[in-house]
Structure 1
């Protein structure tokens, strides 16, 4: 199960990074960015669920556990907001959305990196 959890978490990194930085580079939120955000969220949630089944209950209240939960909540909010921005089709909101994306991506990196460090030190 650990192998699959690592694969899913790394797929989340790949998809989320591609989505966030390609949206930043293009300067406008597009439908394919939204699809990539949702895929990143699905991969992250799947990987995190698998990892949590392998971890003990105490790790849920650790730095990594708390920041991981925060990251998933932010990713869900991010993807939901991106959906609303595209549905409203407001060009100003589409053009400014990438600023929020970068913040969420950076916050998401915290549990990703802390999880990798934790795994390497075990």
Structure 2
């Protein structure tokens, strides 16, 4: 089960990173970026579900708390992207652009903690 958790979390990293940086480089939010945000969110949710099964009732730790916060932010980020694109609200695109990078950086915190823990636990 650990293999599946790692696979899906890494797929989330790749797809979410593509979406965020493609949107940043183009300076224009597009439906293709939204698709990558959605894939990243789905992969992260599935990977997190596998990790939850592996935790087997263990108390919530720093990795779990930051991971849950990052997942919630990813959801809000993706929902906002869809809303901005659907409503064609150009006034919110600049704010979204900043928020996008912020969420991605915050998402890297639990990812990095997970990588560090995997090295420490051998």
Which range, TM-score by smaller chain?
over 0.9
Residue 97 of structure 1 and its aligned partner are, at CA, apart by 1.7
1:94-105 to structure 2, matched below 5 A, reads 94-105=93-104
98-107 or 47-56: bigger deviation? 47-56
Is contact 1:12-1:43 (8 Å) kept?
yes
Distance, in Å, in 1 between the alignment partners of 2:10 and 2:83 is 27
Q: Please, what TM-score do these two structures have when normalized by structure 2?
A: 0.94
Report the CA distance between 1:83 and its aligned residue. Answer: 0.7
Which consecutive residues of structure 2, in runs of 5 or more, have no partner in the other structure?
A: none
Secondary structure of the equivalent of 1:29?
coil
Q: Which residue of 2 aligns with 1:112?
A: 111
Which structure 1 residue ranges, 4+ long, deviate > 3 Å from structure 2?
A: none
Paired residue total: 121
For the residues of structure 1 that align with 2:92 and 2:103, how far apart are their CA atoms?
16
**Structure 1: stretches of 5+ with no match in the other structure:** none
After superposition, the C-alpha distances for 1:6-33 in whole angstroms (9 at most, x for unaligned) are 1100000000100001100000110000
- 1:1-122 matches, within 5 Å, as 1-59=1-59, 61-122=60-121
Q: CA RMSD in A?
A: 1.1
SS where residue 57 of structure 1 aligns?
A: coil
Query: Structure 1, residues 47-106: CA drift from partner, whole Å, max 9, x if none?
Result: 0110111114234x1000000000000000000000110011022322442210000000
Partners of 2:54 and 2:67 lie apart in 1 by 15
Moved more, 69-78 or 90-99: 90-99
Contact residue 28 and residue 97 of structure 1 kept, 8 A: no
